[in-house]
A and B are shown apart, each in its own frame.
Chain A
Amino acid sequence: METAQQGGFSFDLCKRNEFFAAKGVQHPGFTKTGTTIAGLIFKDGVVLGADTRSTAGSTVADKNCEKIHFIAPNIYCCGAGTAADTENVTGMVASQLELHRYATGTQSRVVTAMTLLKGHLFKYQGHVSAALVLGGVDFRGPHLFTVYPHGSTDSLPFATMGSGSLNAMAVFEAGFKDDMSREEAMALVARAIRSGVMNDLGSGSNVDLCIITKDGVEYLRNHEYLQTKTYERQFPQKFASGSVPVVRERVYDIRRAVQVVEGEPMEMEVS
């Protein structure tokens, strides 16, 4: 019997893949962001933080990636887990919220984003591996949530996720106070991320921060740049011009095929 496709992923190939796996076929892996992400609520809003290392197995795939994703002008979300899942799930929710704002003409609420995220993640029973720290400020005030890959959520005053979550949580447990100032909060989140960067092999490179208050957002990309290369070659390899032999040379005169016409700049409607 044919059943109508209800949307979402097709799991038709799971049986086939199991068969292949039993025969010893290796399947390609995913880029997992072994990660430290964290957030906390302070007096005027929310501070989110993330490291910038992305790993594929034991190699560093990206030394400076962005893990704090845009959800709405007043809401941002840190992502850990499979890079593709965190990027797409936050993108989908961001787009749904934007349409919702056009329909209602009101600011998005953090709980709405959280509900959309958990709904999606629960539907996929943990197969969408996104572990998120969602933070924002709406008319009810600052909010901070953790969202787990299976769709459970917590509302917390301070939260951490990713492979460096224990390192970061240790710092939060030692240093968190209610109603911190903006500077105190930024310093504590940066210290929590730094703890993950230094002590967790899945996390590394730089510290990104995002501070959300009712008056606006400050996204501090590479707020802390921790370490540069420790050694420069004294005898660097120099390839002299002509090191590579030219096997064949062909010169095209594109002016015979292409005609370049100067035009007037177009008026663009900006409103």
Chain B
Amino acid sequence: MAAALPVRASVPAAGQAVKQHATWSPYDDNGGTVVAVAGDDYCVVAASTRMSTGYSILTRNKSKILQLNPKCVIASAGMQADQETLHKVLHSRHVTYQFNHRKPMACPAMAQLLSNTLYYKRFFPYYTFNLCAGLDDEGRGAVYTYDAIGSYERVGYGCQGNGKELVQPVLDNQLKAASPLALPPQQWLSSLPLEQAVDLVKGAFVSAGERDIYTGDDVEILIITKDCIKTDRLELKRD
């Protein structure tokens, strides 16, 4: 602990108002959970569609996933206004990239761009908790997890948002994927067949919806394979 310094009496001079802290916050948490699981030749990305503030539901149908190209998506939980802004920025950067390079941005490049974009606002961060997911240049599933200011890591599966405390341990138990950076190298991609991975994600969301008040209504599921992105949807409890 820091040594106690003598405190100067903070009595305001006559006629001088006391300086007050702002009583409002520019941030709000609009809830939601996002999950991504990478497989040998697929990636499953899912996000709940409830958007809320405090104890109120703002909408039961708000997508949290940005589809940038057929090999890369970004899913964000946290504050809706910042999600929207971040997605707009990334979309615009992606369009510019395509003009310059005449090809869509690869998933690992997008992951780095997202990190840079987040760190650019190091001292007034986007209040978003992101996953970047898709297929890498070899066609393997790729998931990147982030904190709000751009620290990121490639993983075999990831989870962000309000339900992460509930979902992450289940994924740890079922997938047990190590970090791809760990030495000696270990198997870190899920060896589950695609149907089983989707089943696991659905099961995790239903369980999170039971116990987390901010996770509910619907889950939007994107199944990314080399041929296309398929969209699936699952109803959750609406209470």
Verify if A238 is at the interface (C-beta below 8 Å from B): no
Nearest opposing residue in chain A for B174, CB measure: A237
Q: Is the CB of A205 within 8 A of B213?
A: no
A contact residues, range: 20 to 34
Please tell me if the beta carbons of A227 and B212 are within 8 angstroms of each other in the complex: no
Q: Taking the complex as formed, is A27 at the interface, i.e. its CB lies under 8 A from any CB of chain B?
A: no
Within 8 A of A (CB), among B210-230: 210-214
Q: Is B66 an interface residue (CB 8 A)?
A: no
Name the residue in A60, A230, A233, A237 with the highest tally of chain B Cβ atoms < 10 Å from its Cβ.
A230
A223 located at the interface, meaning its Cβ lies under 8 Å from any Cβ of chain B in the complex: no
CB distance from A60 to the nearest CB of B (A): 5
Residue in A60, A205, A226 whose Cβ sees the most chain B Cβ within 10 Å:
A60
Q: Which residues of chain B have C-beta atoms less than 8 A from A197's C-beta?
A: 239
Q: How many residues of B contact A (CB 8 A)?
A: 25
Contacting pair B214 A231 (CB below 8 A) = no
Residues of B within 8 A of A63 (CB): 210
Distance in angstroms from A144 CB to nearest chain B CB is 25
Contact, CB under 8 Å: B210 / A229? yes
Are A198 and B214 in contact (CB-based, < 8 A)?
no
Across the interface, A230 reaches (CB within 8 A) one of B52, B56, B213, B236, namely B236
Q: State whether the Cβ of A213 lies closer than 8 Å to any Cβ in chain B.
A: no
**Interface: A136 (CB within 8 A):** no
Contact of B213 among A60, A199, A226, A231 (CB under 8 A): A60
| A163: chain B residues within 8 A (beta carbon) | 55
A60–B211 touching, CB < 8 Å: yes
Name the CB-closest residue of B to A199: B57
Contact of A231 among B211, B212, B234 (CB under 8 A): B234
Across the two chains, which residue of chain B brings its CB closest to A204? B239
Q: Is A10 in the interface zone, CB < 8 Å from B? A: no
CA distance A197 to B210 in the complex (A): 14
Does B71 sit at the interface, judged by CB under 8 A? no
B191-239 interface (Cβ within 8 A of A): 195-196, 199-200, 202-203, 206, 210-214, 234-239
B162 an interface residue at 8 Å Cβ cutoff?
A: yes
Contact A231 B202 (CB under 8 A): yes
Contact A60–B195 (Cβ < 8 Å):
no
A residues sitting closer than 8 Å to B (CB atoms) are 34, 53, 55, 58-60, 63, 163, 197-205, 226-227, 229-231, 233-237
Q: A59-B211, A231-B202, A233-B202 are in contact. List 17 more A-B contacts (CB 8 A).
A: A58-B213, A59-B212, A60-B210, A60-B212, A200-B55, A201-B55, A202-B213, A203-B239, A227-B237, A229-B206, A230-B234, A230-B235, A231-B203, A233-B203, A235-B195, A235-B196, A236-B203
Of all A-B residue pairs in the complex, the 6 with the closest CB atoms, nearest first, are A204-B239, A201-B213, A233-B203, A201-B55, A202-B55, A231-B206
A-B contact pairs, 17 of them (CB 8 A): A53-B239, A58-B214, A59-B211, A59-B212, A59-B213, A198-B238, A204-B239, A205-B239, A226-B239, A227-B237, A227-B238, A229-B210, A230-B206, A230-B237, A231-B234, A233-B200, A234-B195
